């Protein structure tokens, strides 16, 4: 849990805590709405987990907490793993408090009461099954590639073709003294390689580093779903105990070539070196309700990216993925989103070796 908090802190300044029947969802979004992330912890992740909801009064937890308050509690992961054997996280709707209680091995109990802001619940749906290109790789492969880019590198470009995958640094304008880096990967280096559309997408690297570090520390395979430039790209992890997804906006090329590419995506030949079916998780399972393509927005819809690039289109693309939904708004239970519907009124979670979840009413 602590490592997830660190990964989310790379993206947003607040986190949404949503206790659901299928687990605890922790979400964040950056200010520019060009990056969204969610970690869903299964009830099996905890030693004890419970969530309550008042169906009659249609009450649900609407909990947003500042990461400036939460991150210091999990600052040193090594210290937590060594000294804390149990952590309880309780959301108390009546006092508008999130209680983090650390039970240490030396008999000391540390309790932190954080006030939370009552707000709309953040929901997101990413139609991954509509993406023409899919890559699956071991986290070490991607981490080793990212390692060659400096920490100050803001954005990178991913180019894919039937013969190679290229990652290179991206700059808004030509700079005289700068080191250009390109990494070439063969399709055989990926666990799964599926291509229907040759494309070049540019996205922010900062928001991705946290997820890759989390994936490598747990040995979780990373799935990448994307299409043409200007459309979002998703990076996804899946395990029996948790699921995680990061959705990033990409740069829109100031040309009309991508429009024709998108229209021809369905006719493009498929190139795959692994003939196995693609498993659609909770995020993709209900994406059938999302329109596959939309018209290109006007210039007025262009906004600056979180890193200052000129052609980001998060307002157009990620508004289709992220929407603020009131606590009274309900989704059909048949929908199987990663983010789900927030019915929980209270819960408790855990951090280090021990984990617990409870209810407070």
CA distance 165 to 163: 7
Residues 116 and 217 in one domain: no
* 165 assigned to some structural domain: yes
**Given phi > 0 = left and psi -120 to 50 = alpha, else beta, which region is 107?**
left
> To which residue do tokens 């964040």 refer?
28
Residue 354: φ, ψ to 5°: -95, 145
Residues 193 and 301 in one domain: yes
Residues 170 and 72 in one domain: no
Q: Where are the beta strands (DSSP E) in 12-118?
A: 14-20, 23-29, 35-41, 63-66, 84-92, 97-104, 109-115, 117-118
* 42 assigned to some structural domain: yes
Residues 269 and 144 in one domain: yes
* 259 assigned to some structural domain: yes
Which residues constitute the domain of residue 44?
A: 2-124+326-356
Residuewise pLDDT in 10s, the chain (361 residues) = 989 999 999 999 999 998 888 899 999 999 888 899 999 999 999 989 987 654 444 455 668 999 999 999 988 888 888 888 889 998 888 888 899 999 988 888 899 998 888 777 676 667 888 899 999 999 999 999 999 998 888 899 999 999 999 999 998 776 667 788 899 999 999 999 999 999 999 999 989 999 999 999 999 999 999 999 989 999 999 999 999 999 999 998 765 344 545 444 444 434 333 323 323 334 433 333 333 333 333 333 333 333 333 333 444 444 444 444 433 333 333 333 333 333 232 223 333 344 454 444 3
Residues 283 and 299 in one domain: yes
CA distance 203 to 156: 6
Residue 215: its pLDDT value, please? Answer: 94
DSSP conformational letter for 192: E
CA distance 13 to 6: 11
Number of domains in the chain: 2
Residue 45: φ, ψ to 5°: -70, -25
The answer to whether 43 and 357 have CB atoms below 8 angstroms apart is yes
Residues 163 and 270 in one domain: yes
Residues 31 and 117 in one domain: yes
Residues 154 and 257 in one domain: yes
* 361 assigned to some structural domain: no
Give the other-Cβ count within 10 Å of 308's Cβ. Answer: 11
The CATH number of whichever domain residue 299 belongs to comes to 3.70.10.10
């Amino acid at each position: 849990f602590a490592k997830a908090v660190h990964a989310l802190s790379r993206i947003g300044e607040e986190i949404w805590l949503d206790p659901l029947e299928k687990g605890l969802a922790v979400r964040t979004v950056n200010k520019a709405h060009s990056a969204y992330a969610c970690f869903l912890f299964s009830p099996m992740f905890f030693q004890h987990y419970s969530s309550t909801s008042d169906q009659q009064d249609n009450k649900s937890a609407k909990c947003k907490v500042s990461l400036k308050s939460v991150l210091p509690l999990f600052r040193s992961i090594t210290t937590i793993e060594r000294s804390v054997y149990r952590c309880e996280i309780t959301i108390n709707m009546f006092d508008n408090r999130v209680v983090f209680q650390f039970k240490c091995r030396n008999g000391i109990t540390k309790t932190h009461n954080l006030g939370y802001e009552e707000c709309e619940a953040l929901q997101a749906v990413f139609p991954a099954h509509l993406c023409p290109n899919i890559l699956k790789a071991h986290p070490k492969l991607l981490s080793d590639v990212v390692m060659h880019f400096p920490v100050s590198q803001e954005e990178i470009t991913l180019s894919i073709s039937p013969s190679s995958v290229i990652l290179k640094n991206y700059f808004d304008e030509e700079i005289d003294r700068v080191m250009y880096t390109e990494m070439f990967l063969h399709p055989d280096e990926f666990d799964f390689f599926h291509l229907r559309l040759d494309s070049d997408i540019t996205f922010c690297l900062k928001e991705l580093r946290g997820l890759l570090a989390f994936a490598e520390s747990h040995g979780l395979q990373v799935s990448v779903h994307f299409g043409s430039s200007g459309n979002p790209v998703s990076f996804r992890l899946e395990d029996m105990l948790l699921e995680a997804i990061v959705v990033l906006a990409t740069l829109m090329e100031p040309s009309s070539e991508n429009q024709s590419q998108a229209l021809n995506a369905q006719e493009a030949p498929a190139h795959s070196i692994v003939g196995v079916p693609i498993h659609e998780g909770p995020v993709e399972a209900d994406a059938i309700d999302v329109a596959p393509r939309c018209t290109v927005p006007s210039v007025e819809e262009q906004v600056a990216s979180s890193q200052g690039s000129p052609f980001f289109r998060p307002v157009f693309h990620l508004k289709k993925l992220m929407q603020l939904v009131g606590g009274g708004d309900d989704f059909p239970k048949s929908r199987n989103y990663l983010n789900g519907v927030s019915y929980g009124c209270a819960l408790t979670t855990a951090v280090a070796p021990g984990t617990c979840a409870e209810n407070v009413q």
